[in-house]
Structure 1
Amino acid sequence: MESRREQAESNCASSDNNSPPIPETEMETPISESTLEGGGSAFNQSQILRAIEVVERDSFAIAQSFTSLFASLRLALSNATATTIDHMQCFSDASGRVQESVLDAATKGNRLNEEMKNIDGLASQLKVLRRHVDSLDAAVNKLLQVP
């Protein structure tokens, strides 16, 4: 009797907390050769029904665990999907802004290149003008230096 009680306590301790503890009268009784030799009367209809009830209760607990697990997974997947969508929208906005900046920089670069073409002609004109100013300055200095 003590071993059955210890077995019942260990089964109750290891079972799910959501299911009520199984009374000792509903505990499974081990099949021994002596009970089978006696004509198989060890399992009467009430014991079979109790065993089926235990199996149904355990099956229901397992089904609830799976339901909870799938609900948790569904929520985690939903959160991951929402986060991914947010990141994709942020990436799309950032890439759009970078594209606008690149187009603006390319436009300004083209305008600068066009203006630099005119600067080459202006630089050559400045060189000629500088030579004229230098020669004029030299002539004025000669005139002012009367001996």
Structure 2
Amino acid sequence: MDAGAEIDVIEPVEDDSAEETGPDQDHGERSEPSSLKQGGILRTLATVEKDSQAIAESFSSLFVSLRSTLSEATGSSVDHMSCFGDAAGRLQESALDAATKGNRYINSCLRLNEEIKGVENLAARLKHLRRNVDVLDTAVNKLLRPP
């Protein structure tokens, strides 16, 4: 029976013009058809009650299943958030470590640049000194080996 079905029961009132009179109904014996109607109503009510009980059990089972699934999803979410927190913490540590190493590298490059500037001046002086030594060597060779 459908859960949303309604049963309209209209009992005839005495002297009702809508009341049927037939071979099964005798105005003198009203109790028998009335008890048949009541029996049908009671059977219908019993069926409705049984269906309602089945629906209630089905909903109860559904809610237990939903509660279990929600609990699993919540547990998974907590695990994922914990994992995400750990990963974010490690990423932060790695980023700080990389930034520190990057700053050291930049400072080393700046120091090396300053040292190279000093070496360039020294190289220029050495070139000049080399020319002078070559000139002196040529002069000494001319003096020691006359033509």
Q: TM-score surpassing 0.5?
A: yes
Q: How many Å apart are 1:62 and its aligned residue?
A: 0.6
Q: Which of structures 1 and 2 has the bigger CA Rg?
A: 2
Structure-1 residue corresponding to 2:68: 75
Higher relative contact order (CA 8 A, sep 6+): 2
1:70 maps to a residue whose letter is F
Unaligned 5+ runs, structure 1: 1-10, 15-30
Per-residue CA distance 1:47-81 (angstroms, 9 max, x = gap): 44333322221111011110111112112211211
Structure-1 residue corresponding to 2:37: 43
Q: Is 1:93 equivalent to 2:53 in the alignment?
A: no
Aligned residues: 121
Q: How many Å apart are 1:107 and its aligned residue?
A: 0.9
Q: How many Å apart are 1:86 and its aligned residue?
A: 1.8
Within the candidate set 52, 64, 74, 2:45 is matched to: 52
Unaligned 5+ runs, structure 2: 3-9, 13-18, 143-147
Structure-1 residue corresponding to 2:145: none
Per-residue CA distance 1:100-136 (angstroms, 9 max, x = gap): 1110011112222332332233122101210121122
Percent of counterpart pairs with the same letter? 43
Q: CA RMSD in A?
A: 3.2
Within the candidate set 88, 97, 101, 1:104 is matched to: 97
1:116 & 1:55 partners in 2: Cα distance? 88
Q: Is 1:135 equivalent to 2:89 in the alignment?
A: no
1:122 maps to a residue whose letter is E
1:120 & 1:66 partners in 2: Cα distance? 78
TM-score, scaled to structure 1: 0.66
TM-score, scaled to structure 2: 0.66
Correspondence 1:23-34 to 2 at 5 A: none
